[in-house]
C-alpha cells in the first residue's frame, strides 16, 4: 500500500441551460485522492475554487452503471464500455450542474487510487491512523 496523495487535471465540459438553450464550456477539474481520507475522491473546480468530496465507491460504480441519488450522480455514456462520464452535482442553491469527463482518464486515475488503498482496505487504513494518534498529547 502506497501512502500519500495523487492528483490529475482532467478537462471536462460544463453543460448548462441558458435562455438560448443548452451550452457547453470547457473547465479544468483537478481530481485528487489522499490516503488520509481513503473513502473519497476530491473534485476541485479551478475556475471557482470549489471543491467536492465524492465517495470513491460511487465514482467507481458510476463507470459501470448510473449511480448515486440526490446531490451527486455519476453515469457513463457512449460506446460499449462508455467513453464519457457525466458527473452531476446539485448544491440546492443553483440548478444541478452536469460535467462530462473522459471516462478513460477517470478510470486510469481510479486505478491508481486502488494501488494506493485497495477497495475494501479503507477501514484498515483509517484504523491504522487512529492507532498512530498520540492520545496522551490530547489530554
Q: What is the pLDDT of residue 96?
A: 76
Q: What is the pLDDT of residue 26?
A: 92
Q: Tally the domains of the chain.
A: 1
Q: What is the pLDDT of residue 59?
A: 94
In a domain, residue 124? The reply is yes
Q: What is the pLDDT of residue 97?
A: 83
In a domain, residue 136? The reply is no
In a domain, residue 23? The reply is yes
Look at residues 29, 33, 35 and name the one whose alpha carbon lies nearest to residue 13: 29
Neighbouring CB atoms inside 10 A of 6's CB total 15
10-residue stretch averages of pLDDT, the chain, 139 residues long: 82 81 87 92 86 93 88 78 81 78 93 89 70 66
In a domain, residue 137? The reply is no
Q: What is the pLDDT of residue 116?
A: 87
In a domain, residue 67? The reply is yes
Question: pTM (2 decimals)?
Answer: 0.79
CATH number of the CATH domain containing 79: 2.30.31.20
Structural domain harbouring 72: 5-130
In a domain, residue 135? The reply is no
In a domain, residue 138? The reply is no
Write out the DSSP string of 66-109.
Answer: -B--TTEEEEEESSTT-SEEEEEE--SSS--EEEEEEHHHHHHH
In a domain, residue 80? The reply is yes
Q: What is the pLDDT of residue 44?
A: 95
Amino acid at each position: 500500500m502506497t501512502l500519500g496523495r495523487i492528483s490529475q487535471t482532467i478537462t471536462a465540459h460544463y453543460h448548462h441551460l441558458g435562455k438560448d438553450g443548452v451550452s457547453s464550456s470547457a473547465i479544468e477539474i483537478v481530481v485528487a485522492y489522499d490516503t488520509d481520507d481513503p473513502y473519497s475522491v476530491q473534485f476541485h473546480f479551478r475556475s471557482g475554487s470549489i471543491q467536492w468530496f465524492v465517495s470513491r465507491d460511487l465514482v467507481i460504480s458510476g463507470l459501470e452503471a448510473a449511480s448515486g441519488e440526490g446531490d451527486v450522480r455519476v453515469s457513463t455514456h457512449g460506446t460499449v464500455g462508455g467513453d464519457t462520464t457525466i458527473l452531476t452535482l446539485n448544491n440546492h442553491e443553483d440548478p444541478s450542474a452536469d460535467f462530462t469527463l473522459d471516462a478513460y482518464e477517470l478510470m486510469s486515475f481510479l486505478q491508481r487510487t486502488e494501488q494506493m488503498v485497495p477497495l475494501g482496505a479503507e477501514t484498515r487504513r483509517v484504523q491504522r491512523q487512529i492507532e498512530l494518534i498520540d492520545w496522551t498529547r490530547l489530554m
